[in-house]
Structure 1
Amino acid sequence: MEELRIEANGNLGPIDSSRIPRYAGAATYARLPRLDQVSKADVTVVGVPFDSGVSYRPGARFGANHVREASRLLRPYNPAWDVSPFENIQVADAGDMAVNPFNINEAIETIQQNALDLTANGSKLVTLGGDHTIALPLLRAAAERAGEPVAMLHFDAHLDTWDTYFGAEYTHGTPFRRAVEEGILDTEAISHVGTRGPLYGKKDLDDDHRFGFGIVTSADVYYQGVLETVAKIRDRIGNRPLYISVDIDVLDPAHAPGTGTPEAGGISSRELLEIIRGFRGMNLVGADIVEVAPAYDHAEITGVAGSHVAYELVTLMADNAVEGDRHGAPNGYAQQALGARLEELAKADRP
């Protein structure tokens, strides 16, 4: 079948859904070209079908392709940003990494090396998981490429800074403790967003604070709102090289039932998307979306959410790549309100 694609500014874009039905053809992310169809990608989308690090319900190994299928509905212009991301930069889908499902240590090494290979020419990665174990090797690669420890925003219902499970150091509940221990995170600029639910004990929070993490709970987002949440995060991160890790269970199960460890009381998909949109201009160097488990995802709710989260992250990378007056006027009420709030904070006396 002939691929009738949208092309602009020398970039090969998605298949034209006005000429080929969305349900037809191969399911690359957002119907974008494969990596082998372009000479170079500014942003590479890659899947990591690995979930051997989970502590409860498995199935996230099928998450990447589930998100890809849901992404057939995406369109090339993002009105919230007034940006056409696939025109501004070349985005391509590299397919899936082949990782050992029976050996976590070997899988981590493979993911790290593949991430380094995919970014050797300057491309940035948006990774579709997989369980949250994969964040550690991805952070290792991001820090190596940045040449310094990276700032991190971790969207999740859980802390993921526990020490071990059943004596195992590398699981989906431990990646950020290991990352701090390895010195690959800038501990003055790391934060959880959307955490909630019971813990094993108060020591979990004490350890987390000792590692340097700030915490914005889902209740904080509810009471303070998106604008204040974004303002506080931007103040903490600044312009440091930033990695964003999104566990889809940061969303309430009403918005993301298809995940392995759901927790009641989460943020909405609207809140998550608006928070990410508030990061316009921040120095995003890499990102992942993990823990999408399609076996529990009735009506593709979680897959749709994951596909849109990835779209906003790609748009952020594309927006940052535009030269000159790249942001233009704020588009829509939310962006205008955020701009006004940030101006207020900039003028205020800060402690």
Structure 2
Amino acid sequence: MEEIRIEADGHLGPIDSSRIPRFAGAATFARLPRLDQVGRAEVKVVGVPFDAGVSYRPGARFGGNHVREASRLLRPYNPALDVSPFELVQVADAGDMAVNPFNINEAIETVQQNALELTADGASLVTLGGDHTIALPLLRAAAERAGEPVALLHFDAHLDTWDTYFGAEYTHGTPFRRAVEEGILDTEALSHVGTRGPLYGKKDLDDDRRFGFGIVTSSDVYYQGVAEIVAKLRERIGNRPLYVSVDIDVLDPAHAPGTGTPEAGGITSRELLEILRGLRGMNLVGGDVVEVAPAYDHAEITGVAASHVAYDLITLMADLRSSRTGARTRTETLPAGERKDA
């Protein structure tokens, strides 16, 4: 089938859905070109089909392609941020990393090496998981590229700073504890957002505080509102190189049933997207969307939410890059809920 694509400012964009139906053809993220079709891209989307680190329901190894299928309906213009990301920079789908599903240590090494290779040309990386174990090697690569420890904004129902499960140090519940221990996180600029639910004990919170994390619970988002939360996050992080890791279970199961460890009382997809949009202009160096498990995702609700999260991360990266190169003049950055009409 001939691919009829949208092209603008020298960038090859998505397949033109006004001429080729959205449900036709292979699913790349947002129907974007593959990396091998463009040679070089400033923002790359890559999948990591790996879930050997889960502690409850498996299935996130199928998450990346599920999100790609759900992303068929995404369009080239992001009105919430007044940005056409695929016009500003070249964005491409880099396919999936080939990781060992039986050896967690080897898989972690593979993800780290692949992430370094994909960003060797200065590209930004948006990763589709996969379980949250993959955040550790992605953070290693991000810190190496940044040349310093990175700030972390972690959206999740859970802390993911536990020590071990069944004696295993590398699982989807331990990546950020390992990252702190390895010195790749800036402990002055760490925040969880959306946490909730029962814990093993108060020590979980004590340990988390000792590592340097600030916590914004889902209740905080409800009572304080998005604008106030965004203002606090921006103040805490400043202009540090920032990595954003989104476990889709940060959303309430009503908005994301297709995940391995759901918890009641989560934030809405609208709140998550508005907080992300409030990060506009911040020094975003990488991001991931993980823990999408399609077997539990009736009506593709979780996949749709995850695809929009990835789309907004791409938009933020494209907007940041264009502002640095002077390719366009960005509109005034305002906290979420206070943006002016375009």
Task: State the alpha-carbon separation in 2 of the partners of residues 39 and 165 from structure 1.
Answer: 41
Task: State the alpha-carbon separation in 1 of the partners of residues 339 and 120 from structure 2.
Answer: 37
Contact 1:129–1:291 (CA under 8 A) maintained in structure 2: yes
Task: State the alpha-carbon separation in 2 of the partners of residues 97 and 85 from structure 1.
Answer: 24
SS of the residue 1:200 aligns to: coil
Question: For residue 348 of structure 1, what is the aligned residue in structure 2?
Answer: none
Question: For residue 23 of structure 2, what is the aligned residue in structure 1?
Answer: 23
SS of the residue 1:334 aligns to: coil
Shift in Å, 1:322: 1.9
Task: State the alpha-carbon separation in 2 of the partners of residues 96 and 143 from structure 1.
Answer: 22
SS of the residue 1:281 aligns to: coil
Shift in Å, 1:334: 2.3
Question: For residue 12 of structure 2, what is the aligned residue in structure 1?
Answer: 12
2:96 alignment partner AA: D
* Structure 2 residue 273 is the aligned partner of structure 1 residue 273: yes
* Structure 2 residue 315 is the aligned partner of structure 1 residue 315: yes
SS of the residue 2:224 aligns to: helix
Question: For residue 254 of structure 1, what is the aligned residue in structure 2?
Answer: 254
Residues 332, 285 of structure 1: alpha-carbon distance in 2 compared, 3 angstrom cutoff: closer
Question: For residue 98 of structure 2, what is the aligned residue in structure 1?
Answer: 98
CA displacement, residues 47-102 of structure 1 (integer Å, 9 cap, x when unaligned): 00000000000000000000000000000000011100000010000100000000
Q: TM-score, length-normalised on structure 2?
A: 0.97
SS of the residue 2:210 aligns to: helix
SS of the residue 1:65 aligns to: helix
SS of the residue 1:233 aligns to: helix
SS of the residue 1:188 aligns to: strand
SS of the residue 2:337 aligns to: helix
Among 328, 338, 346, the alignment partner of 2:331 is 328
Task: State the alpha-carbon separation in 2 of the partners of residues 54 and 252 from structure 1.
Answer: 19
Question: For residue 207 of structure 2, what is the aligned residue in structure 1?
Answer: 207
Shift in Å, 1:332: 11
Task: State the alpha-carbon separation in 2 of the partners of residues 277 and 332 from structure 1.
Answer: 8
Task: State the alpha-carbon separation in 1 of the partners of residues 61 and 122 from structure 2.
Answer: 27
Task: State the alpha-carbon separation in 2 of the partners of residues 322 and 138 from structure 1.
Answer: 24
Residues 125, 183 of structure 1: alpha-carbon distance in 2 compared, 3 angstrom cutoff: same
Question: For residue 238 of structure 1, what is the aligned residue in structure 2?
Answer: 238
Q: 1:127-146 counterparts in 2 under 5 A?
A: 127-146=127-146
SS of the residue 1:183 aligns to: coil
Unaligned runs of 5+ in 1: 338-351
Contact 1:82–1:331 (CA under 8 A) maintained in structure 2: no
Unaligned runs of 5+ in 2: none
CA displacement, residues 252-272 of structure 1 (integer Å, 9 cap, x when unaligned): 000000000000000000000
Q: How many residues align?
A: 338
CA displacement, residues 185-218 of structure 1 (integer Å, 9 cap, x when unaligned): 0000010000000000000000000000000000
Contact 2:251–2:266 (CA under 8 A) maintained in structure 1: yes
Task: State the alpha-carbon separation in 2 of the partners of residues 84 and 336 from structure 1.
Answer: 17
Q: TM-score, length-normalised on structure 1?
A: 0.94
